[in-house]
């Protein structure tokens, strides 16, 4: 079994955030996780069993202004996890992307990298979100000890899911996103279908 938990958050409006900051975010959150999976897969494949667990985020399903690079990296890891799971299932290897909501960790505190603000046009959308995140840091709903118990249940499962949300906020926000996507698909279905031969 492998649990890929290394990662960090980058906070910053995309236009204000450098490409180098994006590369670093993806190097750690995506390329690092993939490198670890590639390192252990030959052994799991040889044994015909194993479980790869990638800690993503509800930010791999939902988005919010000011963490564009972070969400992009977690969306990427969700997609890689799901596709890899299809590649290795017949080999006895499971892949689960675990997407926590807000937990009482230091993610929003000193471990977060923040880009400097420079464009006033973004103040109205970004400043309230940054203030709310800073105020909530240390008061998040999720309990890391209970997340560990949930991971143990996942590890013991004979039929682990491809995706596992952790936290009431993650369940609510992801469900809301899926409902909104479903409504958009229905509203634009005739346009979508009009492009076929």
Determine the Cα–Cα distance for residues 17 and 68; give it in Å rounded to an integer: 9
122 is catalytic: no
Sorted by sequence, the CB contacts under 8 Å of residue 36 that are 6+ apart come out as 2, 4
What's the number of CA atoms in the CB half-sphere (13 Å) around residue 183?
Answer: 6
User: Could you tell me which of 77, 75, 58 has the C-alpha nearest to residue 170?
Assistant: 58
User: Could you tell me which of 59, 63, 66 has the C-alpha nearest to residue 117?
Assistant: 66
Angle at 29 between CA 28 and CA 32, to 5 degrees: 55
Write out the catalytic residue numbers.
70
């Amino acid at each position: 079994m492998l649990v890929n938990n290394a990662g960090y958050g980058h906070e910053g409006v995309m236009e204000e955030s450098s490409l180098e900051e994006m590369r670093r975010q993806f190097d750690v959150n995506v390329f690092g996780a993939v490198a670890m999976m590639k390192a252990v897969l030959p052994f799991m494949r040889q044994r015909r069993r194993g479980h790869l667990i990638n800690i993503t985020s509800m930010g791999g399903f939902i988005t919010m202004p000011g963490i564009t690079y972070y969400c992009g990296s977690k969306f990427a890891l969700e997609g890689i996890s799901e596709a890899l799971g299809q590649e290795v299932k017949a080999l006895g290897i499971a892949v689960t992307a675990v997407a926590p909501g807000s937990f009482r960790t230091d993610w929003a505190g000193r471990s977060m990298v923040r880009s400097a603000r420079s464009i006033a046009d973004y103040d109205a959308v970004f400043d309230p979100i940054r203030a709310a995140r800073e105020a909530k840091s240390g008061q998040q709903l999720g309990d890391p000890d209970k997340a560990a118990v949930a991971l143990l249940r996942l590890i013991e499962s004979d039929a682990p899911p491809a995706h596992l949300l952790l936290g009431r906020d993650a369940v609510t926000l992801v469900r809301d996103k899926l409902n909104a996507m479903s409504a958009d698909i229905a509203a634009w279905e005739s346009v979508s279908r009009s492009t076929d031969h």
